[in-house]
Amino acid sequence: MITLQMPPIPAPVAVTVKAASTAMLVFDVVEPICTSQPKCLKTMVPAISALLARARKAGITVGYGTRAPNISKWLPEVAPAAGDITFVSYAQDRFFNTDLDKTLKAKGVTTLILTGWKISGSVLYTSVGATLRDYTVVIPVDASLGPNDYEEVIGLYQILNQNSANPTNQPLKEKTSTLSRTDLITFQ
C-alpha cells in the first residue's frame, strides 16, 4: 500500500463580489440526497440558508440545479423563491446539456458562488465548467461539503489546481476558483 500526503489546502479568503454581476447556485440540497448526509443537514444547510438570505437581500441572482426526480424536493430552509432560476441537471458539471450558461450570461453574470452537495462532485465539476466559460468562481467551504474528510480535501485540491489554476487561493483571481467561507463573503 502506498501512503500519500496531500499538500495543504490554503485557508479560505475574504471576498467582496458585485451583486449585479454575481449569481449564487445551489446543487442537490434535496430529499433524499442531503437528508442522508449528517454534514449536509447539520453544517451545510444552515450555512447555505444564511448566505442565501444575505444574497437575496443584496439582489444576487439565485439558481438551483438537481436531477429531474429531485427538482421539487428542495429542503425548505434553502428552497427556491419566486423568480429564482431552476434547472434540471444531466451531469456533475451543471453546464452540461443545459441552458445555464446562456441564462447567466443574459443576466450579465460573471461571478458565481457555488454551493451544495458535494464538493467532490457537482461543485468541483461545475467550477471547472464555469472557469472554462470565463466565470470567476467562489466556493464557500462551509456551504459545500462531502461525506468524509478525504472527499473534501480531494475536491478542494482539484478545484484550486484545475485547468484554470489558483493554487495559492488568490482572492477573486479572474476566471479561476477561490475558496472562501460564508462569513467571509460580502456583497457590493
**pTM value?**
0.96
- So what's the pLDDT on residue 110? 98
Could you give the CA distance from residue 22 to residue 111 in angstroms, rounded to a whole number? 5
Q: CATH for 15-187?
A: 3.40.50.850
pLDDT of residue 29: 97
C-alpha cell at 111: 461571478
Dihedral sign from CA coordinates of 13, 155, 127, 99 = negative
In angstroms, rounded to a whole number, what is the distance separating the alpha carbons of residues 56 and 156? 26
Q: Residue 163 and residue 155: Cα distance in Å, rounded?
A: 14
Q: What is the model's pLDDT at position 54? A: 98
Q: Can you give the pLDDT at residue 6?
A: 78
**Strand (E) or helix (H) holding 140:** strand 136-140
Residues of the chain predicted below pLDDT 70: none
Residue 158 has a pLDDT of: 95
The β-bridge partners of 65 are: 27, 87
Per-residue model confidence (pLDDT) at position 175: 97
Partners of 39 in beta bridges? none
Q: Where do the domains of the chain lie?
A: 15-187
Q: What is the pLDDT of residue 163?
A: 86
